[in-house]
Amino acid sequence: MSSSGLGDSSVIVTGAGSGIGRAAALRFAHEGAKVVVADLNGESAKAVVAEIQAAGGTAVAVAGDLSDPAVVDEVVTTAVDTFGGLDVLVNNAGIMDRMSAAADVSDAEWDRVIRVNLTAPFLLTRAALPHMLAKGKGAIVNTASEAALRGSAAGTAYTVSKHGIAGLTRSVAVMYRNAGIRANAIAPGGTITGITLDIDPEAHGPKALGAYMHNVGRTAQADEQAAVIVFLASDAASNINGAILPVDNGWAAV
């Protein structure tokens, strides 16, 4: 058992096939946790599981779209049936919007971003809580964003979804604080991952936000976000509950 309290724990990391989620899954496994690697992209989920196993860790892949309640059930059931319970849920999977301002957001952009970034984490939280309550212990860590803190970090749909994640985090933190369950979030600033690869920087990228986006700070490595996720899930953070923690080289302080 490691001093983090994560040794032998059962952990779900969503969006763990790439970027911040992948780095978090590797760190949890290094702590001795057993990890459900959940991702839309089955090939990348399997590759991360293979990476964990090659390093002597324990992990299992679940592929599917987490905005589908059946996939949510499969992820939670896999953790409980394979690893004997559920100790940590990391709601990390997310997608960017098209940087659209409110008048330009299509129904499709709104529905998809809210469904993946906000509804899926809610569905996972709802499915996970009974298993944590049964143990009298649990930690939920959500990947929010600088866009949970300000209106100038993304388009309207993404900004609303990440403000929603902050609300979900605080609500769960307060309502389950006497049941041994903590909920916290990281609010990453710009981080090098796969998320921005399909965004045309001229039409839809940061340049589309022009003067609104400034003083953003240094771009982070995915592992700098993952380290904070694992800390918030660990016993070292036992009295941190309901925090939305900027991990952004000071952007939120500007």
Ligand X SMILES: NC(=O)c1ccc[n+]([C@@H]2O[C@H](COP(=O)([O-])OP(=O)(O)OC[C@H]3O[C@@H](n4cnc5c(N)ncnc54)[C@H](O)[C@@H]3O)[C@@H](O)[C@H]2O)c1
The binding site for ligand X (CB under 6 A) comprises 14-15, 17-21, 39-41, 44, 65-67, 92-95, 116, 143, 145, 188, 190-191, 193-195, 222
Q: Which is nearer to ligand X, 237 or 247 (CB)?
A: 247
Question: Cβ of residue 207: shortest distance to ligand X, in angstroms?
Answer: 15
Question: Cβ of residue 36: shortest distance to ligand X, in angstroms?
Answer: 12
Question: Cβ of residue 8: shortest distance to ligand X, in angstroms?
Answer: 26
Question: Cβ of residue 41: shortest distance to ligand X, in angstroms?
Answer: 4
CA 27, CA 57: separation in Å to the nearest integer? 10
Cβ–Cβ under 8 Å, residues 78 and 62: yes
Q: Which is nearer to ligand X, 6 or 90 (CB)?
A: 90
Picking from 88, 58, 62, the residue whose alpha carbon sits closest to that of residue 73 is 62
Q: Respond yes or no: is residue 176 known to be catalytic.
A: no
Q: Which is nearer to ligand X, 5 or 94 (CB)?
A: 94
Q: Are strands 10-14 and 88-91 parallel, antiparallel or unpaired?
A: parallel
SS3 (DSSP) at 32: coil
Specify the long-range contacts of residues 104-111, CB closer than 8 Å, at least 24 apart.
Answer: 105/155, 105/156, 105/157, 109/155, 109/157, 110/157
Q: Which of 28, 83, 110, 158 is catalytic?
A: 158
Q: Which is nearer to ligand X, 5 or 220 (CB)?
A: 220
Q: Are strands 244-247 and 88-91 parallel, antiparallel or unpaired?
A: unpaired
**Catalytic residue positions?**
158
